[in-house]
Amino acid sequence: MKRLTILSVFALLKTFLVVALADGVVVYEQRDIPSGVPLEGHAADAKKYGYRFPSLCVTDKGTILAFCERRLGLHDHAQNDIVLKRSTDGGKTWGPEIIAVEDGMHSINDPLTVQLESGRILLMHARFPYGRHARDAGWIKRADLGYDDPKVNVLTFLSHSDDDGKTWSKPRDISRQVKPPTWVNANTPGQMIQLTKGPHEGRVIASLWGTIPGEGKDRTWEILVAHSDDGGETWERTESLKDISGKGYPNECQVAEAANGDIVLISRNQGGETFRKKTISKDGGKTWAAIDIDKTLPSVACMGSVNKGPAKADGSWDLCASFPSDKGRKDGQIAVSKDHGMSWQIRKVIEGPFAYSALQMSSDGKTLLCLYEGHGYKDITLLSILIETL
């Protein structure tokens, strides 16, 4: 019998660790489109529902709400609906799909969610008219600038639920409040936040990205931050945030409240170095430091998440982030910041396919929940990570 070397023992331990880390509950997976679902236009040949762009919300009742786009195929504009599933047992089992927003052949994109102190759950999302995108993409043409023509303009809407995610209001157009006239779109998947301390306690914060059209098929990207002081009824937005990182553009982005009152924003880096971009606000989201890369956050261009950790005995908390590695949309990294987002340490690696993700704390504060895209976008899985392991 071959003697085990120290290296081979470590290899076995690593294999065991990978299996443990990759274990989770599949919430969504590709499935056959049921008979009776209209297959029109460029979805005429679609065979399966695809699920992408997760958002996660843990309500004050302890319910886990897992949102995503349900697509006729996998294209970004495949007549998408926003759907959710509810779990009342910590993510072990899930109820049926609930359609939160749908609009026929038009695509509803980028679920962005938060529960307010009042109990109301907000869902921000973008509506792309059929055949229109943020760029030219074959049969789909770039949408026009503007707000007035739903046939050619990308619009941003807000819906809400007052019954723990079971039913949803009719979407309300907030495009003029959150989208500059120079942007084609204003949206991002993931989560909004509501501030819990300081002079702006109760303020709702949403970070958004937009496409700036150039000559021909050229385009660039910018981000801004919108806030609401009346529970989402009205919104104000910043100017586009300044980026000093050099090559590359900020794109899909997320915010989290740090224990010192700062707001930390982390974004995808599109076309730049394989690190994420970051900026911080010290005045409740009104003004922001210049955006720069953070070399403690190595990653390819991909959406990621950032979230508050559980409260400590002194009332403070750390921050947690999730994002794929700098080698591709794989090997998901869970990073922790103990200095209010200034620097990060990678504490867990989820080996295997790992793309878009969303983080939330469990209702008991003991577990970090990570909802992520895996296996070539064939499923969306919820992984539970004990905070003590971080």
Chain segment 145-158, per-residue pLDDT in tens: 999 999 999 999 99
Burial class (CB in 10 A: 0-12, 13-18, 19+), 189: buried
| Predicted pLDDT at 5 | 41
Domains of the chain and any CATH numbers: 6-389 (2.120.10.10)
Of 74-78, 261-265, 381-385, the poorest mean pLDDT is in 74-78
Per-residue pLDDT tens digits for 164-204: 999 999 999 999 999 999 999 999 999 999 999 999 999 99
Measure Cα distances from 380 to 93, 173, 211, 287, 323 in Å. Answer: 14, 29, 27, 35, 15
| Predicted pLDDT at 139 | 86
Per-residue pLDDT tens digits for 19-54: 334 579 999 999 999 999 999 999 999 999 999 999
For residue 18, pLDDT beyond 70: no
**Average pLDDT of span 220-228:** 98
- Mark 333-357 as b/e (b = at least 16 C-beta within 10 Å): bbbbbeebbeebeeebbbbebbbbb
DSSP state of 338: S
Q: Which residues pair with 65 in a beta bridge?
A: 57, 86
**Average pLDDT of span 95-103:** 98
Average pLDDT over the chain reads 93
